A and B are shown apart, each in its own frame.
Chain A
Amino acid sequence: MATTTATITLASTDIMDNNMSISNTATLTTAGTDTGITKTTGISRRTFATNSNTILLDFGLTSGIAENVTADKSAKVYIRNVNDRGDGTKYVNILIVDKEIGRLYGGDWMFIPYSGGSGKDIEFTASDTTETTLEYAIFYE
């Protein structure tokens, strides 16, 4: 087994009257165990120039980056919009199948669990056709 940890730190000195600091570390384990996950797609980077709905992680595609992810197990997905923020109006909508999750503006990242399953692709739709670079990885069992 491998030991992989994901730590988040949320910090602000002025969003509340007192400093806010939230920090937690998760050890990425297989479903229902304390055993560390042993697989990852590695970190990939792709550049797109389309505002059409596009599959980023194609679950079950035999040659795709999500090819070996097993449905309803323990998997985590990291995605980052590598672009500069610009004027703050350009973003990439991240979807699970056709359900919109949220917008990654330039410089934003997300780290979520991923159930997968037949047809349960992670997709994106950019706000316009500006060239957009996404960085992403799956950690799975």
Chain B
Amino acid sequence: MATTTATLTLTSADLLGDALSLSQTMSLYQHGTTATGLDEVTLSRHNIPTGTNFDLIPESAALSEDASYVYIINKATNAAHYIIISINSEPIGRLYAGDWLFMPWDCDLTAAANDSSLECEAVGGEQIVEYALFHNGETLATASDS
């Protein structure tokens, strides 16, 4: 097993009357275990052109029904550009230039209107998106020409 942690730090000196300072750290564990870490990671970087909603992280039987976590960042520098992140055609939100998200992902192939792929669409211009998918138990597909 591997040990992977994700730490969020939210700070602001002037959003509220008092300073905001929040920090939370979690470990990325497998489903049904008390402290067994996820063993697999996929790191990726893509140029996303405008005009098409793409599958950024396609659903897969190899990824289904275990704990998975996704980190996505929009590397754009133009403040007017953003990426729409959706799941099952339902927009979650917009990642503007420099924004990131971290969330659990349930690749559930039995879901209603079945498509749990994470989708992305660039608006305003081509943008670079990086992501990390932390998961477990993925079995690679047999090569079609083997």
Contacts and interface: CB of A to CB of B under 8 A. Distances in A.
Interface in A4-40: 4-16, 20, 22, 24, 26-27, 29, 31-34, 36-38, 40
Classify chain B's interface size: 35 or more
A65 interface: no
A8 B10 CA distance: 9
A76 B4 CA distance: 24
Interface of A: 2-16, 20, 22, 24, 26-27, 29, 31-34, 36-38, 40, 42-43, 72, 74-78, 80, 85-89, 93-94, 96-105, 107-115, 117, 120, 139
Contacts of A99: 87-88, 90, 111
B61 interface: no
B62 interface: no
Nearest to B24: A109
B42 to A, nearest CB: 11
B71 A101 contact: no
A88 B106 contact: no
B25 to A, nearest CB: 8
Contacts of B82: 31-32
A113 B12 contact: no
B31 A88 contact: yes
